[in-house]
């Protein structure tokens, strides 16, 4: 039976020991979405056309949260992140905004958690900025899409476009 790497033999939490690993180039892509009322989406779209501050603010929040991942996720390693980029797609049909993050590092361990944390922070920031008009927004489908680099080899979510 497989074991959870973040627990020691007696079931207690630990940071995985990466001291024997070589620093290599690694990359991770994560996605998620936030659904909302059609009218909320229209307000964001209107602002996007004007100044872009809802999505612009969410992008900055995501980049800054990626850098602080080891402060938030107890067993994550601190890493000298080399790049974070965030993209949004407004989807009128599903009445939602899709969020995609891409994070790169040269380090002893990967940046999956940084990518997932960035997506979560972007979604939470959109919620915060629109909650006065729409408290029913829902954050969903936050998932890892792809990772490359590292000993465990590449991962690509099946079915991801």
| CB closer to its own copies out of 6 and 92 | 6
Report the nearest approach of its own copies to the CB of residue 40 (Å). 9
User: Which residues are part of the catalytic machinery?
Assistant: 128
| CB closer to its own copies out of 49 and 93 | 49
Helix 53-67 × helix 38-50 angle, to 10°: 90
Query: How far is CA 82 from each of CA 5, 6, 79, 143, 152, rounded to the nearest angstrom?
Result: 26, 25, 9, 21, 21
| CB closer to its own copies out of 9 and 93 | 9
Report the nearest approach of its own copies to the CB of residue 69 (Å). 8
Tokens describing residue 132 = 């006065």
Largest CA distance in the chain: 56
């Amino acid at each position: 039976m497989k074991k959870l790497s973040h627990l020691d033999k007696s079931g207690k939490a630990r940071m995985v020991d990466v001291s024997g690993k070589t620093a290599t180039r690694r990359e991770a892509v994560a996605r998620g979405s936030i659904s909302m009322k059609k009218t909320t989406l229209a307000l964001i779209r209107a602002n996007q056309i004007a100044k872009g501050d809802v999505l612009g603010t969410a992008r900055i929040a995501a980049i800054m949260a990626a850098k602080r991942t080891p402060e938030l996720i107890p067993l994550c390693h601190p890493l000298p992140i080399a790049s974070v980029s965030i993209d949004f797609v407004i989807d009128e049909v599903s009445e939602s905004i899709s969020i995609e993050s891409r994070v790169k590092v040269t380090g002893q361990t990967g940046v999956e958690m940084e990518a997932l944390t960035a997506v979560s922070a972007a979604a939470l920031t959109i919620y915060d900025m629109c909650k006065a008009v729409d408290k029913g927004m829902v954050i969903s489908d936050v998932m890892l899409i792809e990772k490359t680099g590292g000993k465990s080899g590449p991962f690509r979510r099946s079915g991801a476009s």
